[in-house]
Structure 1
């Protein structure tokens, strides 16, 4: 659509990366990637887009960034971790300390992809069974079957999760909700969302069975942005991106807030 796009690949975590935390992901990887993109493009400002947990990460980054962020776009983003989709006992156990995240990380070092995949399945059930029902009813449609197989393969293609980053997300975001309280520290900087003044665009999926709207919309009141837009689109967590709809939504909003190449 005429934009210069840079995509950051975080790579696949190995056991030797178990000590990598949010500080490294944000201050080393993301910050350096933004600086490189600005330098390579010759632009003075940048628009950053984050999807799901990527939206949480770019929001944290934007709250401490020294680089010029013109537009911040986040979709299906968890900001307020108090609302929870999944078994109530999970939330209760994690918040009460019945399930010891620190011990879990100390044992595994890096969260295996199989465990990551099973957690998503447990949270998303029974929607996973709906996929099989749809496949059965449309088995005659070869294009649908081909798309279904590719999507199913993607859902199983998890990557390991760096242990220290997982520990921080579980304890400081989910358990203590520090992103909402403004107490989250990244390095020696306080990641207070009120520091964000960039133009803000937030997109939620009406049928999202993974991230609730109640988790996303609090960012609207936490930032200092004067130009901020929140919309809800009738789509699921993954469908918003896979249908190509998200690109059109972003273009409609950002085209009036960016300079022509």
Structure 2
């Protein structure tokens, strides 16, 4: 039978999609090209090869010399220290012979492989990052901390418990396997029910379309600031990360400070939503919400907040509105959101033409990107923290980390429509169209420099999704009268969830105004003072100054937009 062009393409996509399900969406050809590029560069570098052999011999001699001393002097200074973020060998048990030699040998090997995979002349930057990342993943697998015979902490626990830790760890493993197979949430996540334990700030759903529910929160003060606030969360996550338990809910905090708060709650897409694109999210999500709020609270501009992908989409929407002389927005705040994707961190390792074609075929077959496939990619990025530390703690030491609301939220994942996610990855991650003036809205390009309103940008120090130096590049794109950049400690999620009574929090904040000389991120970090405590009050003060006078608290909804449901609504409950 002869196939037409469409049938040929469909067959190709079907084969690649089938393979992608086995490889968690990672393209084997992309991996092979990376490896061959590194191998060929190494083969043509005999000087580098000799240097690496020399370094290997020196490290072995250094380790042998240190081991001979450490056998008799447990306090001997180690020949290499773990990286600051590496917590695997912090327990004092690792300082005893022979485990000190084992972990020191591993760290020296890790250092050698870093030398072997970086700095090769002729190796493309993308392939260099990918090969170094791949070597790190294999070394994480081989770490002595992961195995009973080479982990003194596990050995001690096994001896003192008579092996019960291994038995209980096996029970934990079996529970997790069963949960994965039947799609059940992790142990303890059922203690955080949406609408009962989390997402409990009082409000009403006042508008609903196919893609969103718009929540208006009930005021708790007699008067509120005149200008309302619209929050645009990422559609890769449920919105209630910003409305967790009452003690760490950003929404509740803002309402208590006298702000009129509106929240977009995205629909969890299914295979039937495969053709929803970024423009649908822009129109049905942000623009429809702005229209509703403008009618509910007329003659007032709207402050807007975008988190992660929601911030990127908000930036695009605001740019298009500025281009079209639509002045309904008062300010933009971005939480861990990128506008320039050239330095988007290790997520870029999964973004090249071959990898995207492979992933697109997987989504083409499914109609969406599944939650498990997305979670797998994020876990690989932080395998030490999210995979191997869990193996050691839960399966070898039999110590379950207590579930909290943020962990429960993290397990409540959402899907990504085929068309939207393909457009997002290609136009933004791969081609960087928005930052470089090629992204088109209504068939005309938009640029962030058109935005002429105050901008507040929040980055987090340990963000592996939107690295803070990448979010800081907003300074290079903006011609706004003022850009305030705030850097807080914490990661992509935990750094944003930072209630005022949170211990061990600090932040830096500075405002750049039109005409100021550009300061690079490292210089900014060095010269900007650190403030103790949560960043929420500092941002709220900035917001309050720009929100107009106090007015009587409004009623929730109106004749045109009667309440449809109690918050948190129905979309957030979709599995």
Same fold (TM over 0.5): yes
Unaligned runs of 5+ in 2: 1-256, 500-533, 551-575
What is the match of residue 58 of structure 1? 314
Task: Measure how far apart 1:149 and its partner are.
Answer: 3.6
Residue of structure 1 aligned with 2:496, choices 234, 241, 246? 241
Mapped contact 1:86–1:122 kept (Cα < 8 A):
no
Structure 1 gaps, min length 5: none
Instruction: Give 1:226's match in structure 2, choosing from 452, 464, 481.
Output: 481
Greater Cα offset, 151-160 or 162-171 = 151-160
CA shift for structure 1 position 130 = 8.3
* Runs of 4+, deviation exceeding 4 Å: 129-133
Paired residues of 2:340 and 2:432 also in contact (CA < 8 A): yes
The secondary structure found in structure 2 opposite 1:242 is coil
**Residue 131 and residue 43 in structure 1: after superposition, are their counterparts in 2 closer, same or farther (change >3 A)?**
farther
Residues 169-218 of structure 1, C-alpha deviations (whole Å, 9 max, x = no match): 11111110111101111232322111111110011011223211222112
User: Where do residues 141-220 of structure 1 align in structure 2 (5 Å cutoff)?
Assistant: 145=402, 148-220=403-475
Give the whole-Å Cα distance in 1 for the aligned partners of 2:538 and 2:491.
Answer: 15
Q: 2:275 aligns with which of 3, 8, 19?
A: 19
Please give the TM-score of this superposition, normalised by the length of structure 2: 0.41
Distance between the aligned counterparts of 1:51 and 1:84, measured in 2? 15
How far 1:165 moved relative to its partner?
A: 0.9
Shift of 1:230: 1.0
CA contact (8 A) 1:207 1:237 kept: yes
The answer (yes or no) to whether the contact 2:450–2:479 under 8 Å persists in 1 is: yes
1:255 correspondence with 2:255: no
Displacement of 1:83: 1.7
Q: 1:168 to 1:87 in 2, by over 3 A?
A: closer
How far apart are 1:257 and its partner, in Å? 1.6
In structure 1, distance between residues paired with 2:419 and 2:536: 33
CA gap of 1:9–1:114, structure 2 versus 1, over 3 A, is same
Partner Cα separation in structure 1 for residue 360 and residue 433 of structure 2: 18
- Given the alignment, which residue of 309, 327, 343 partners 1:83? 343
Partner of 1:48: 304
Q: Secondary structure at the match of 1:210?
A: coil
2:13 aligns with none
Q: Distance in 1 between matches of 2:356 and 2:539?
A: 39
RMSD: 2.5
Q: Distance in 2 between matches of 1:131 and 1:259?
A: 49
In 1: Cα distance, 2:355 partner to 2:276 partner: 25
Mean alpha-carbon deviation: is it higher for 189-198 or for 241-250?
Answer: 241-250
SS of alignment partner, residue 9 of structure 1: strand
Matched, 1:95 2:352: yes
The one of the two structures with greater contact order (alpha-carbon pairs below 8 A, sep at least 6) is 1
- Contact 1:85/1:123 (<8 A) preserved: no
> In the TM superposition, what whole-angstrom CA distance separates every residue of 1:124-150 from its partner, at most 9, and x where no partner exists?
3323258759x889x79xxx93xx343
1: CA distance, partners of 2:491 / 2:299: 34
- Kindly indicate whether the alpha-carbon contact (under 8 Å) linking 1:22 and 1:186 is maintained by their aligned counterparts in 2: no
Q: CA contact under 8 A between 1:111 and 1:162: conserved in structure 2?
A: yes
